[in-house]
């Protein structure tokens, strides 16, 4: 088992939303300055969501590495993982439909608050989590009704 890199496709959705907000901001400024300022705020929020989102995930036999912008990375050794659970991502209540995996692990390193072991959920990541860390993986049967 060698290393496998998975791109976080959610960044594409955040980028599309930011572009829509940017166009709306331009239109709002033509109508009224107050609406334009509100549009700028929405665009900035989307930009921040892009910057704090993982770029890609690297699965290896020893660990999972989550790569962020600005060279930040979160390294999670499989032997330090306590549990892997499914959860919903509540970024400002706008993206409540996004499901994620929360990886609980032991660490002594201080990290920024957005680096909390959360990775996006899709079929490919689910397969890799079952392959690399099957004992700690908990499927939420109640969510599959």
- 58-71: pLDDT as tens digits: 999 999 999 999 88
Q: Which residue has the higher pLDDT, 134 or 104?
A: 104
pLDDT at residue 111 tops 90: no
Q: Which residue has the higher pLDDT, 89 or 135?
A: 135
Supply the pTM of this predicted model.
Answer: 0.79
How far CA 91 is from CA of 6, 12, 20, 94, 108, in Å, comes to: 21, 15, 18, 6, 26
Q: What is the pLDDT of residues 74-88, one digit of tens each?
A: 999 999 898 888 876
Q: Where are the alpha helices (DSSP H) in 32-122?
A: 33-52
């Amino acid at each position: 088992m060698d290393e496998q890199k998975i791109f976080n496709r959610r960044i594409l959705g955040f980028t599309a939303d930011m572009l829509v907000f940017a166009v709306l901001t331009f239109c709002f400024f033509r109508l009224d300055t107050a609406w334009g300022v509100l549009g700028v705020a929405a665009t900035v929020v989307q930009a921040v969501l892009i910057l704090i989102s993982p770029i890609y995930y690297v699965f290896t036999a020893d660990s999972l590495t989550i790569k962020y912008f600005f060279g930040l990375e979160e390294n999670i050794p499989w032997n330090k993982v306590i549990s892997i659970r499914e959860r919903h991502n509540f970024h400002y209540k706008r993206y409540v439909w996004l499901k994620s995996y929360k990886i609980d692990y032991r660490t002594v390193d201080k990290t920024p608050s957005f680096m909390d072991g959360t990775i996006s959920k899709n079929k490919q990541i689910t397969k890799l989590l079952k392959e690399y860390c099957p004992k700690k993986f908990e499927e939420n049967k109640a969510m599959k009704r």
